[in-house]
Structure 1
Amino acid sequence: MPAPAPQDRTRVLVIEDDDTIGRHLETGLRGSGYSCTWCRTGASGLAQIGNNPQDVVLLDLGLPDTDGIDIARQLRSRFPDLLIVILTARSDEIDVIAGLDAGADDYLVKPFSLTVLLARLRAHLRRRPTGTPPDETPIRLGDLTVDPAARRCLIAGNEIALRPKEFELLTALAQHAGTAVSRETLMAQVWDENWFGPTKTLDVTMASLRRRLHEAAASSPVPPRLPAITTLRGHGYRLDLADQD
């Protein structure tokens, strides 16, 4: 049976020093219709993507020549639209947050299933932006403005930088401001409607979003009026409206 067509032009760079994992990923990705290149060091990975543009990078953190976090930062800075998925044995939440803050879109803790990795890649690739809907109007909640069409977030008129999933998560909450939104709804809207993996990704992304909003508010000369993200244990989250004058 021929390999599936939807991914046949998707270029994946694997940066992984473990021979067993690297070969397994390379074989599995090519067998699923992806174009795959495997590098064993951070330096060779950066050189490869510099000469041959890629759509996806699967990045190990424990590389022999450098920390994968530094590679993630460089990749995100040089290639804003690149899909970066971290593959790591580091399972502590602080490590996950560091990886996402460095620019990764997702992470998988080793050992992981190739089937789950492929499912996550399909989910991310389906949700890659292909155009901006013309009817998405800005949402203003106190001094917070979320502009889905322009993919901009402003606090008291000053733009703050959010990672793609952080912005999409804030947009999902803003579109239902004042209403409880379940974890399942957020996972379906921000990640994928067929998502079947753990929802820790949501928790980590939410924590990072809250931190970015807090830091932006703290740096403002005048304390801005911002909606609060309330955790509803056992259900999900609610964006509580800021007082409106």
Structure 2
Amino acid sequence: MPLKNERKSKVLVIEDDAGIRESLFATLGALGFAVGEASNGEEGLTRLRMVDYDAVLLDINMPGMGGKETCRRIFQNYPQLPIIMLTVRNEEQDIVEALDAGACDYVTKPFQMGELTARLRAAMRRTQPSTPKPQTVLAIGEIVLDEDSRRVTRGAEEVHLTPKEYETLRFLMERAGRPVRHDTLLQSVWGPVYGNEREYLRVIVNQLRRKLEDDPTQPAYILTENHIGYRFRAE
């Protein structure tokens, strides 16, 4: 529970099922969150213009504007706002589409509230401002990552990455030439409650290869270390 004078984290629940909305409102409220509600994507976007939320819980299947389109619009307007998608399916294509739309995580219904709140807190911690660091530029081959501006370029062309793609690339480039274990990479990018969600890494790495490699099927930069993880090539 938060201390009396502590600011409550604000979470927006966008979900067309009234029962799930009420359950999340009551449970998250009891855990110390300030919870806003919206029954569809259009209403959710309106509420985001009115209140500075710290995170969004978003149902992937809704009438009208679907969850994926709502996620894309939220990400375009609020790129640092963590979005966790809620869905009844757990197929890799759904994960690909959710993360590609800008979601930072993906939770399958029915979910345990303990797991959901842990992932919610981890997502919000990742977006909290940290102590400023001196500007750092990582350059390997044609790939240049500027940590100060969060810009990535390939040759003369800027590469647009989602937050998780950027964080994954930065972590690998900082350790260029060294294998990075799956669980280490997951915990660095998503938080300490992660470690077994290798499908997340497959999605993100495949997306990065499509954006950075000449031939994504024969990568020259992001290499697979069988049964271990991934390695960014050394200069």
TM-score by length of 1: 0.86
Task: Indicate how the Cα distance of structure 1 residues 7 and 153 shifts in structure 2: closer, same or farther if over 3 A, else same.
Answer: farther
What does residue range 12-31 of structure 1 map to in structure 2 within 5 Å? 12-31=11-30
Query: What percentage of aligned pairs have identical amino acids?
Result: 35
Aligned equivalent of 2:230: 237
Matched, 1:142 2:135: no
Shift of 1:53: 2.8
Q: State the distance in 1 between where 2:159 and 2:6 align.
A: 33
* One-letter amino acid matched to 1:100: L
Aligned residues: 231
Q: CA 1:203–1:7 in structure 2 vs 1: closer, same or farther (change >3 Å)? A: farther
Q: What residue ranges of structure 2 are gaps of 5+ in the alignment?
A: none
Q: State the AA in 1 paired with 2:150.
A: R
- 1:9-158 to 2 correspondences below 5 Å: 9-131=8-130, 133-158=132-157
- Is the contact between residue 14 and residue 36 of structure 1 (CA under 8 Å) also seen in structure 2? yes
Read off the aligned partner of 1:4 and give its amino acid letter: P
RMSD: 2.2
Q: Does 1:4 align with 2:2?
A: yes
- What amino acid maps onto 2:211 in structure 1? R
Q: 1:184 to 1:62 in 2, by over 3 A?
A: same
1:239 aligned partner, one-letter code? F
SS at match of 2:127: coil
Where does structure 1 lack aligned partners over 5 or more consecutive residues?
219-225
User: Given residue 117 of structure 2, which amino acid in structure 1 is its aligned partner?
Assistant: L
Change (3 A) 1:122 1:8: same
The separation in 1 between residues aligned to 2:224 and 2:128, in whole angstroms, is 28
Offset, 1:8? 4.2
Assess, with a 3 A threshold, how the Cα gap between structure 1 residues 189 and 7 changes in structure 2: closer, same or farther. Answer: farther
Q: Which amino acid aligns with 1:150?
A: S
SS in 1 for 2:8: coil
- SS at structure 1 position matched to 2:161: coil
80-89 or 188-197, which deviates more: 188-197
TM-score by length of 2: 0.89
CA distance in 1, matches of 2:145, 2:220: 12
Match of 2:168 in 1: 169
